[in-house]
Structure 1
Amino acid sequence: MRAAALYTAAGSLLLTSLAAAPAGSAPARPDATAESHGTAVAAARAAATGVDFGECAGAQNGAQNPPGMECATVTVPLDYARPDGKQIGLAVSRMPATQRDPRNSKRKVPRQGALVYNPGGPGASGLQFPMIGHLPEWKRLAAAYDLVGYAPRGVGRSAPLSCEDPAQHFKGPSSAPAHPSQSYKRERIARAAAYARGCAERSGDALRHYNSLNNARDLDVLRAALGEEKLTFMGASYGSYFGALYATLFPSHVRRMVFDAAVNPDPAQVWYRNNLAQSAAFEDRWADMKEWIAAHHGVYGLGATPEEVQHSYDTARARLDGKPAGGKVGPGQLQGAFLEAGYYDEYWPSRAQALSAYLKGDPRPLVDLAAPQEKAAAQAENSRAVYTAVECNDAPWPTEWKVWDRDNTRLARVAPFETWNNVWLNLPCAYWQAPRQRPLDVRTGPGELPPTLILAAERDAAAPYDGALELHRRLSGSVLVTERDAGTHGIAGGPNACVNAHMEAYLIEGRLPGRRANCAPHPEPKPGAAGRQGAAERSVPGR
């Protein structure tokens, strides 16, 4: 692997020359608004009502519920400025603390309350989180804490959002030009505008209330409903962002917080510039993967240099453009499968093996890996709808196509791997019909917030490392733990024992290292290993 670097040198220079942040009002500051009063009213009501946990109805996203898992619904206002108005229900799951020490099952450990988790998105559900307590890396935390997951507003059973017919969500095979033509751009502009209209038509006036500030307010109502005076929370990726909003809005309600794969909370970055930075970072991660494949040329035969691996990938993309594999996998599906591998290096072996097999005449592994799964269409459409609504509602975006075209044409010259794919995902925000918010200025002063823990992989592409540095600067008393020269998106409870030791010491004992700590990278994947299969992306549903 190369020495760790946030972006390629060219990409880094480019980002400094891009257009100024989209015009908008100054960052919002927490104050005594109608929403803050409404949150207090809703939280008091939730504390009095509590949570009536019972049997879980059906499987969570296709996974069978383990014995002992409980489910419930917590009610929150759709609009916090009107806490007595329309209410919506958030689906919640819980696995009560085992209180059995995994190192000595005869010894009980003190229960420490609820640990609430959000996996990111926007648009991802945390309902499966309590199941994680069965894994060895989580058993100590499962002994001490009730593990609590939930589906944020708009997701799954929590007042679900939709922007289009799910049957139309997976349109394959599709193309994915790294340098699109003007006619292709016009086609995608029309699709983005139509998608934005669909969101407005399907949700009406309610659409504006699906945003990050309301996700943070919902979290406080959930805290109160669980009977917790102070919140213990872990947020990954986007979950770190609204967790940081929570820390800014409700610092006195925080017990402990872990921010995993931290997103840059700078109001000037949310969300247009964050997506530009992400596209630049994915180019570095794609380069990492090509170097790994080249190092195992003897296994995959895709090239002994990164340039040769790129040629193999481009050859496959050109063939798929002429004849989709299995009639379902075109260049767009190929790019999507390899984009997922930019999130998790566990995916590298399966992607390399599928590409190798395809170029040798066997398309089946690639079809199995990348073909759209029709049975997942409804969930995928819902996830993308929530992702779009939250990001578009949260902040101003450029409304003129020429701004998007200029910035991303420049960026694609040095970072072609993800740039235009990222544009097409986010372009509905240029045509958004709901009112925009002003991003909150995430910031806490000395003594306002208990010490918090930030976890980051230095080469994370989905949440570039400078986001963790920025959050560390803004949250007084926070501690940053970095996995050096690694790029997995989300490192809590993963294969790095050093990272896990810091997380456990903090959540179980309240003990933190110095202001910053470093961990060596986890081992690279072994060639030929199966790795994870299929789309398990935790960061950006809809991609």
Structure 2
Amino acid sequence: MRATTRYATAGAMLLAALPAAPVAAAPAAAAAEARQGAGAAETIGTMIAAARARARGIAFGDCPEREMLPASLRCGTFTVPLDYARPLGPQTELAVSRRAATGDAPEHQGALVYHPGGPGAASITFPLLGEWAAWRKTARAYDLVGYAPRGVAPSPALSCRPPGEAAETPNASPEHPSPAEKRARIARARTYADGCLRAAGPALRHYSSLDGARDLEVLRAALGEERLTFMGTDQGAYVGALYATLFPSHVRRMVFDSPPDVRRLGYRSGPARARALESRFEDFLSWIARHDAVYGLGTTPGAVRSRYDRMRDEVARKPAGGTVGPGRLQAAFLGAVAYDDYWAVRAAALSAYAQGDPEPLIAQASPRPYTAKGDENADAVRTAVGCNDGRWPADWRVWDRDHTELARSAPFAAWAEAWATLPCASWPGPRHRPLDVRTGRGGLPPVLILAAERDGVTPYAGAVELRRRLRGSALVTERGAGSHGIGGGENTCVNGHLETYLLTGRVPGTDTGCAPHREPNPVSLHRAVPRGDDGPEHLLRGRAAF
């Protein structure tokens, strides 16, 4: 008897004694994992965990006071195994939130679960979007559900170093690292990887997108949903794509917003992202140049970049406020490359610095002690999931050669990519082989993919590839735009397709385009406010990983 058949038979016999066991997806899930060399034990373990979760449900109640959430939001937990091959072994509780549908009973379509990606972000506040106009109709039909994936607070949080410990020295060069800086980075990356192992122990290998997809199946069951309605952004979209591959019969509707390229996970993702970030940085510089009357930084992208380079060199010699060196400067501007609603405030800070006033830059780029714990938690999960999801070379010479070459064409982000992922070179966990994401024709209900054509964080090619692999899916493209995560944002055309799909299940043509949303208005220093800090679109965004 083949191993897959043996596990499936044993699992079916065991689950016969459990209430409402979701066995329909077992053959597809077991076959999908078996094709990749994965053990069918994890599939059976997922079935057992889902059956237990369905029997227990989720006891929603008041949210913890420390979360400072409104009464309209209800909170609870559901339980998942740390290791799905040992479903009755050690468990962990994941936090979940829900805002009940506001419409009448005939309008109700169940729960809509959102995963913000990152990795390292939680969607506990996602249900609050139901109060915003762009989501009001959807909120009438759905209970909006957010959760904190494994390792992410307020679920039991992973941390690999003391919060607030400096990740870099203020004068470290992000574009032209010296040999001494490279040696320091290598040592720091090894220390960080070792810290992750000390913190998580044997469970470290189970911080992965594949385990996230299994957790999603348990959440579906705990919510009492026969089939899943889901939206995911960035790595959250990848988790959803894995779910669709493993459990296609449990999919009702799925939205994949700004998905990564499933062909280029792990080390292979870096070069494409660095080049896309470089192109998007050029878009930002061009926008500043078009508004030279406001910022006075130059009338060409080259002139603006020269001004940026001078500022970088100056803070390398003397960090602004003693804390903002070139590394923190670059981190602040990477945010603007990811989301154009930061363009005005970052351009204003650059303009003020050029005129002798460093205070706006210090305010925007300095470390914030009150976010240190959350920042470290997000970094730890991003590192663990990223290292576990793909393959990474262990030889520093490979990293040095490749990123030195990459920096010639994409200097802005090439080394930032290297430093963000370098712990994976000495990662203490196993080197996973990614699951092959794909479905056959008729194997999956119609699903919707959203992407911006010039997204620097998850390059557009990833959305095109996912549409090809998920047969029957439809892709909506925001042409000429580059903000990361576009569903529920500023583009009414994109939002219209999203709302129609969630409410009716209808998808547009296979490839549908929307005109770009309006570019940010240039504003003076005194009026520059980063709308994204508290705007509704940021409830949908995970931490962009660089």
Q: What is the TM-score with the length of structure 2 in the denominator?
A: 0.90
Unmatched segments (≥5 aa) in structure 1? 1-25, 101-107
Could you tell me the percent identity over the aligned residues? 57
Q: Matches of 1:435 and 1:276 in 2, distance apart?
A: 23
Structure-to-structure mapping, 1:191-206, within 5 angstroms:
191-206=188-203
Letter of the structure 2 residue corresponding to residue 243 of structure 1: G
Structure-to-structure mapping, 1:510-521, within 5 angstroms:
510-521=505-516
Identify the range of structure 1 (526-535 vs 115-124) with the bigger mean alpha-carbon deviation.
526-535
2:87 counterpart of 1:80: no
Is the 1:480–1:515 Cα contact (8 Å) retained in structure 2?
yes
Per-residue deviation, residues 446-470 of structure 1 (Å, max 9, x unmatched): 1111010000000000010000001
Residue aligned with 1:480, SS: strand
Residue aligned with 1:168, SS: coil
Is the 1:89–1:159 Cα contact (8 Å) retained in structure 2?
yes
Letter of the structure 2 residue corresponding to residue 523 of structure 1: R
Residue 33 of structure 1 corresponds to: 40
2:396 counterpart of 1:401: yes
Residue 184 of structure 2 corresponds to: 187
Is the 1:77–1:84 Cα contact (8 Å) retained in structure 2?
yes
Instruction: Compute the displacement of 1:201 (Å).
Output: 1.6
Instruction: Compute the displacement of 1:292 (Å).
Output: 0.2
Residue number among 243, 248, 259 corresponding to 1:246 in the alignment: 243
Letter of the structure 1 residue corresponding to residue 505 of structure 2: G
Letter of the structure 2 residue corresponding to residue 202 of structure 1: A
Is the 2:172–2:181 Cα contact (8 Å) retained in structure 1?
no
Is the 1:172–1:329 Cα contact (8 Å) retained in structure 2?
no
Is the 1:245–1:442 Cα contact (8 Å) retained in structure 2?
yes
Q: Matches of 1:372 and 1:533 in 2, distance apart?
A: 18
Instruction: Compute the displacement of 1:167 (Å).
Output: 3.0
Letter of the structure 1 residue corresponding to residue 46 of structure 2: T
Letter of the structure 2 residue corresponding to residue 138 of structure 1: W
Residue aligned with 2:140, SS: helix
Instruction: Compute the displacement of 1:162 (Å).
Output: 1.1
Residue 329 of structure 1 corresponds to: 324
Is the 2:114–2:232 Cα contact (8 Å) retained in structure 1?
yes
Structure-to-structure mapping, 1:349-428, within 5 angstroms:
349-428=344-423
Is the 2:171–2:315 Cα contact (8 Å) retained in structure 1?
no
Residue 61 of structure 2 corresponds to: 54
Instruction: Compute the displacement of 1:540 (Å).
Output: 4.0
Residue 18 of structure 1 corresponds to: none
Per-residue deviation, residues 487-533 of structure 1 (Å, max 9, x unmatched): 01010011111101101110001111111111000010000052336
Q: Matches of 2:477 and 2:345 in 1, distance apart?
A: 27
Instruction: Compute the displacement of 1:538 (Å).
Output: 3.7
In structure 2, the CA distance between the partners of 1:522 and 1:540, relative to structure 1 (3 Å rule), is: same
Residue 94 of structure 1 corresponds to: 98
Residue aligned with 2:531, SS: coil
Residue aligned with 1:155, SS: coil
Residue 314 of structure 1 corresponds to: 309
Q: Matches of 1:506 and 1:465 in 2, distance apart?
A: 21
Q: Matches of 1:59 and 1:312 in 2, distance apart?
A: 43
Is the 1:241–1:262 Cα contact (8 Å) retained in structure 2?
yes
2:285 counterpart of 1:290: yes
Per-residue deviation, residues 43-73 of structure 1 (Å, max 9, x unmatched): 001111111000000254xxx4123110001
Is the 1:30–1:440 Cα contact (8 Å) retained in structure 2?
no
Residue aligned with 2:127, SS: helix
Residue number among 213, 218, 221 corresponding to 2:218 in the alignment: 221
Q: Matches of 1:326 and 1:291 in 2, distance apart?
A: 29
Instruction: Compute the displacement of 1:276 (Å).
Output: 1.6
Instruction: Compute the displacement of 1:311 (Å).
Output: 0.8
Instruction: Compute the displacement of 1:171 (Å).
Output: 4.8
Q: Matches of 2:56 and 2:543 in 1, distance apart?
A: 34
Q: Matches of 2:348 and 2:34 in 1, distance apart?
A: 47
Identify the range of structure 1 (529-538 vs 137-146) with the bigger mean alpha-carbon deviation.
529-538
2:348 counterpart of 1:341: no
Residue 454 of structure 1 corresponds to: 449
Residue 105 of structure 1 corresponds to: none
Residue aligned with 2:456, SS: coil
Residue aligned with 1:340, SS: helix
Residue aligned with 1:263, SS: coil
Q: Matches of 1:538 and 1:178 in 2, distance apart?
A: 27
Q: Matches of 1:170 and 1:522 in 2, distance apart?
A: 35
Residue 531 of structure 1 corresponds to: 530
Instruction: Compute the displacement of 1:27 (Å).
Output: 10
Instruction: Compute the displacement of 1:173 (Å).
Output: 2.6
Identify the range of structure 1 (506-515 vs 26-35) with the bigger mean alpha-carbon deviation.
26-35
Q: Matches of 2:146 and 2:542 in 1, distance apart?
A: 16
Residue 13 of structure 2 corresponds to: none
2:467 counterpart of 1:472: yes
In structure 2, the CA distance between the partners of 1:75 and 1:170, relative to structure 1 (3 Å rule), is: same
Is the 2:113–2:146 Cα contact (8 Å) retained in structure 1?
yes
In structure 2, the CA distance between the partners of 1:350 and 1:192, relative to structure 1 (3 Å rule), is: same
Instruction: Compute the displacement of 1:170 (Å).
Output: 5.3
In structure 2, the CA distance between the partners of 1:477 and 1:253, relative to structure 1 (3 Å rule), is: same
Instruction: Compute the displacement of 1:413 (Å).
Output: 0.1
Residue 485 of structure 1 corresponds to: 480
Is the 1:350–1:533 Cα contact (8 Å) retained in structure 2?
no
Letter of the structure 1 residue corresponding to residue 428 of structure 2: Q
Letter of the structure 2 residue corresponding to residue 440 of structure 1: L
The number of residues matched between the two structures is: 506
Is the 1:381–1:542 Cα contact (8 Å) retained in structure 2?
no
In structure 2, the CA distance between the partners of 1:171 and 1:114, relative to structure 1 (3 Å rule), is: same
Per-residue deviation, residues 176-215 of structure 1 (Å, max 9, x unmatched): 3312222211111111111111111221111111111100
In structure 2, the CA distance between the partners of 1:28 and 1:338, relative to structure 1 (3 Å rule), is: farther
Is the 1:124–1:541 Cα contact (8 Å) retained in structure 2?
no
Q: Where do 4+ consecutive residues of structure 1 move more than 2 Å?
A: 26-32, 169-177, 529-543
Is the 1:380–1:542 Cα contact (8 Å) retained in structure 2?
no
Residue 67 of structure 1 corresponds to: 71
Is the 2:344–2:520 Cα contact (8 Å) retained in structure 1?
yes
Identify the range of structure 1 (359-368 vs 241-250) with the bigger mean alpha-carbon deviation.
359-368
Residue aligned with 2:244, SS: helix
Q: Matches of 2:332 and 2:533 in 1, distance apart?
A: 8
Q: Matches of 2:38 and 2:247 in 1, distance apart?
A: 11
Q: Matches of 2:106 and 2:329 in 1, distance apart?
A: 48
Residue 13 of structure 1 corresponds to: none
Q: Matches of 1:290 and 1:185 in 2, distance apart?
A: 29
Residue number among 435, 440, 452 corresponding to 1:445 in the alignment: 440
Q: Matches of 1:127 and 1:353 in 2, distance apart?
A: 32
Per-residue deviation, residues 300-327 of structure 1 (Å, max 9, x unmatched): 0111100100011011111111111111
Residue aligned with 1:148, SS: strand
Letter of the structure 2 residue corresponding to residue 430 of structure 1: A
Letter of the structure 2 residue corresponding to residue 164 of structure 1: R
Residue number among 206, 210, 231 corresponding to 1:209 in the alignment: 206
Instruction: Compute the displacement of 1:124 (Å).
Output: 0.6
In structure 2, the CA distance between the partners of 1:169 and 1:159, relative to structure 1 (3 Å rule), is: farther
Instruction: Compute the displacement of 1:32 (Å).
Output: 6.8
Is the 2:388–2:429 Cα contact (8 Å) retained in structure 1?
yes
Unmatched segments (≥5 aa) in structure 2? 1-32
Q: Matches of 1:87 and 1:151 in 2, distance apart?
A: 15
Residue 15 of structure 1 corresponds to: none
